[in-house]
Amino acid sequence: MIAYYRHGAAASARVARYQKYRALRLSLDLRIGIHTSTAGSIERSAIKAHELGANTFQIFSSSPRMWRAKPPDPAQVHLLKRERERHDLKPLVVHDSYLINLASADPVIRQRSIEAFTGEIERSLVIGAEYLVAHPGNYKDLTLEQGLLNVAEGLAKSWRAADSALKRGAALTILLENTAGARNQLGADFGDLATLRTLAGPYLDIPIGYCLDTCHCYVSGRDISTEAGLAAFIREADDSLGLDHVPVIHANDAKTALGSHLDRHAHIGAGYIGKEGFRRILSHPRLRDKAFILETPVDKPGDDLRNVTALKELVPFPNKRLTTTESKRSGTSGGRTIRRST
Ligand SMILES: [Zn+2]
Ligand SMILES: [Zn+2]
């Protein structure tokens, strides 16, 4: 009886050790990052991301509120690539300009948007970004079907117009982002996102996937703050989009209520999704291979570091890659080291 008990205890200790090892292995590659500024020079964004303890990041490749954009400076691109390699910063995500609306009913705006999106694709290729995140657009004065057709056509035209030498052998994927679903805004419905990929993706040989924003999921009516709601969201995303086509998650807490359709990002833990919600999201086995990128507000200096740290502290096991960066920093600048969350 005693022998049997001992054997059982040893076995369960082994199982526990194995489970811990497996969880650790899974978390080693976890990617956590933040949108950083390219002000001054593009490579500054990578340096900043590293300083914040991130191992992935997002940028705008030009001013998000201006139609005109300059091509990236080759010297800066070279430095950006060097910084990314030096600090193992991947993937690099570019977010498209807020002015672009491929769905627009106005032919002038639509044409401008196609030209601007062609520029977004080309700059992303030059920079060496893995992903270009795009908002589907607003179909005001049109039917939903016409809006979707406009976007699919706009994606196809932009991709075709982009420099073919740049496209050759490139590993860029356009990611359609889900939205808060305000009036006439496309993309809150996963079915619509899937339709866009079907219309413009593999059929036309355009690499298209999806980026899911946690705040947009919540305010568009998916209660991912609860265990059951998160499970329902995972099922829905997998059924409609296929989780394999979702490499990037925008990790933002939600400042406004469930179903409000208002796009207001909150600091991690300070919104409706909450710390427990994010702990479940970060430890969900189906999301482990995604890049989590913060787009949280910087209301006061240090908010960016606080949000990256808050997210990292919610990872169920310490992430080696992230810990190294952080502990190196903590010696010199008093940064916080990661504690295993309980
Ligand atoms: Zn976005
Ligand atoms: Zn948003």
295: CATH: 3.20.20.150
Which position has the higher pLDDT, 325 or 189?
189
* Dist. CA 193 → ligand 1 center (Å): 14
Ligand approaching nearest to the C-alpha of 293: 1
Q: What is the pLDDT of residue 320?
A: 52
* Dist. CA 215 → ligand 2 center (Å): 6
- CA–CA gap between residue 266 and residue 279 (Å, rounded): 16
Q: What is the H or E stretch that residue 95 is in?
A: strand 92-95
| Overall number of domains in the chain | 1
Tell me the two tokens of residue 256: 């406004």
Name which of 323, 301, 300 is nearest 312 in CA terms: 323
From residue 61, how far is each of 126, 294, 297 by CA, in Å?
Answer: 10, 17, 19
* Dist. CA 285 → ligand 2 center (Å): 25
Which position has the higher pLDDT, 12 or 251?
251
Ligand approaching nearest to the C-alpha of 297: 2
Residue corresponding to tokens 């916080």: 336
2 within a domain of the structure (yes/no): no
Does residue 332 have a pLDDT over 50?
no
Number of neighbours of residue 50 by Cβ within 10 angstroms: 21
3-state secondary structure of 58: strand
Q: What is the pLDDT of residue 96?
A: 97
Q: Mean pLDDT across the stretch 83-91?
A: 97
* Dist. CA 276 → ligand 1 center (Å): 24
3-state secondary structure of 215: helix
Residue pair 175/132 in contact by the 8 Å Cβ criterion: yes
Q: What is the pLDDT of residue 322?
A: 56
Does residue 201 have a pLDDT over 90?
no
CA dihedral 177, 178, 182, 183 (to 10 degrees): 80
Does residue 71 have a pLDDT over 60?
yes
- On average, the pLDDT of the chain sits at 89
101 within a domain of the structure (yes/no): yes
Task: Find out whether the peptide bond into 91 is cis, omega within 30 degrees of 0.
Answer: yes
Tell me the two tokens of residue 88: 């193992």
290 within a domain of the structure (yes/no): yes
Residue 250 class from Cβ within 10 Å (0-12 exposed, 13-18 middle, 19+ buried)?
buried
304 within a domain of the structure (yes/no): yes
297 within a domain of the structure (yes/no): yes
106 within a domain of the structure (yes/no): yes
Residue corresponding to tokens 């002038």: 108
From residue 60, how far is each of 26, 38, 96, 313 by CA, in Å?
Answer: 30, 7, 7, 27
Residue type, 284: H
Task: Provide the β-strand partners of residue 58.
Answer: 35, 93
* Dist. CA 136 → ligand 1 center (Å): 10
Which position has the higher pLDDT, 68 or 268?
268
Q: Which residues surround ligand 1, an ion (CB under 5 A)?
A: 177
Q: Mean pLDDT across the stretch 280-286?
A: 95
Residue pair 178/136 in contact by the 8 Å Cβ criterion: no
Does residue 108 have a pLDDT over 80?
yes
Residue 99 class from Cβ within 10 Å (0-12 exposed, 13-18 middle, 19+ buried)?
middle
Q: How confident is the model at residue 296 (pLDDT cuts 50, 70, 90)?
A: very high
Does residue 328 have a pLDDT over 60?
no
Q: How confident is the model at residue 125 (pLDDT cuts 50, 70, 90)?
A: very high
Residue pair 215/252 in contact by the 8 Å Cβ criterion: yes
Q: What is the pLDDT of residue 29?
A: 72
Q: Mean pLDDT across the stretch 313-317?
A: 83
Q: What is the pLDDT of residues 1-49, one digit of tens each?
A: 444 455 677 777 777 766 665 555 445 579 999 999 999 999 999 999 9
Q: Which residues surround ligand 2, an ion (CB under 5 A)?
A: 263
334 within a domain of the structure (yes/no): no
Q: What is the pLDDT of residue 8?
A: 72
* Dist. CA 13 → ligand 1 center (Å): 45
3-state secondary structure of 116: helix
* Dist. CA 134 → ligand 1 center (Å): 7
Task: Provide the β-strand partners of residue 213.
Answer: 250
* Dist. CA 249 → ligand 2 center (Å): 12
Q: What is the pLDDT of residue 193?
A: 98
* Dist. CA 131 → ligand 1 center (Å): 13
Does residue 323 have a pLDDT over 80?
no
Tell me the two tokens of residue 190: 């996963």
Task: Provide the β-strand partners of residue 56.
Answer: 33
Does residue 338 have a pLDDT over 50?
no
Ligand approaching nearest to the C-alpha of 176: 1
Ligand approaching nearest to the C-alpha of 264: 2
Ligand approaching nearest to the C-alpha of 95: 1
Q: How confident is the model at residue 316 (pLDDT cuts 50, 70, 90)?
A: confident
Ligand approaching nearest to the C-alpha of 253: 2
Q: How confident is the model at residue 339 (pLDDT cuts 50, 70, 90)?
A: very low
- CA–CA gap between residue 260 and residue 247 (Å, rounded): 26
Q: Which residue range is the domain that position 214 belongs to? A: 27-329
Tell me the two tokens of residue 137: 């657009």
231 within a domain of the structure (yes/no): yes
Does residue 224 have a pLDDT over 50?
yes
Q: How confident is the model at residue 337 (pLDDT cuts 50, 70, 90)?
A: very low
